[in-house]
Amino acid sequence: MADTMNRTAGPPVEGGAPSGRDDNIVSLLRDLTSQGSHLAEQQLALIKAEVRETGNDMKKAIGAMAGAAVVGIAGLGVLLMAFAYLLADAIDHLGLATLIVGVVTLIVAYILYRGGAAKMRDVDLAPERTQHSLERTPAALRGDLHPEDKR
């Protein structure tokens, strides 16, 4: 590819050297290629940063859901034992008391789970800034650096 960029389209001038116009075109093409690769590197860095940020948000949401599971399981065991016996003393029916306490404990666990699920829903997995930049790239290549001003 570099071999084709060094060839000149016009006839050589005295001494066999290419004309100044051809040097400018080659220089412009070299600059365009360099800027294009620099833009691609920046886009890749932006994607990596957004994925890293999204991963951190996902870790927080998963941690909240794991916490809800631990609390739900612990609550299920402890509350079923303690409150079932206390309620059984009040209503004189151990089976019904155990069922009531178990249902209440599961409702609390469900509320905690829904909180974690809401946090997970709020995590945006799409790299929006990168998509916006990629949508603007064709306009920037045409020299229009502010396409959103034309709305």
DSSP code string of 9-74: SSPP-GGGPPPHHHHHHHHHHHHHHHHHHHHHHHHHHHHHHHHHHHHHHHHHHHHHHHHHHHHHHH
How far apart are the C-alpha atoms of 96 and 99, rounded to whole Å?
Answer: 5
Give the per-residue pLDDT at 110.
Answer: 92
pLDDT in tens, 67-84: 998 987 887 687 678 888
Give the per-residue pLDDT at 8.
Answer: 47
124-146 mean pLDDT: 66
The number of distinct structural domains making up the chain is 1
In a domain, 150, yes or no: no
In a domain, 151, yes or no: no
In a domain, 63, yes or no: yes
How far apart are the C-alpha atoms of 38 and 93, rounded to whole Å?
Answer: 75
Residue type, 121: R
In a domain, 98, yes or no: yes
Give the per-residue pLDDT at 1.
Answer: 45
How far apart are the C-alpha atoms of 129 and 44, rounded to whole Å?
Answer: 12
In a domain, 148, yes or no: no
Give the per-residue pLDDT at 89.
Answer: 93
Helices H / strands E in the chain, number of each:
4, 0
Kind plus residue range of the DSSP H or E element containing 151: none
Higher pLDDT, 65 or 45: 65
Give the per-residue pLDDT at 62.
Answer: 92
Tokens linked to 5? 């960029």
Give the per-residue pLDDT at 139.
Answer: 64
Give the per-residue pLDDT at 90.
Answer: 93
In a domain, 41, yes or no: yes
- Give the CA distances from residue 68 to residues 10, 62, 76, 116, 122, in Å, rounded to whole numbers and listed in that order: 74, 10, 12, 8, 17
Question: Domain range holding 37?
Answer: 2-141
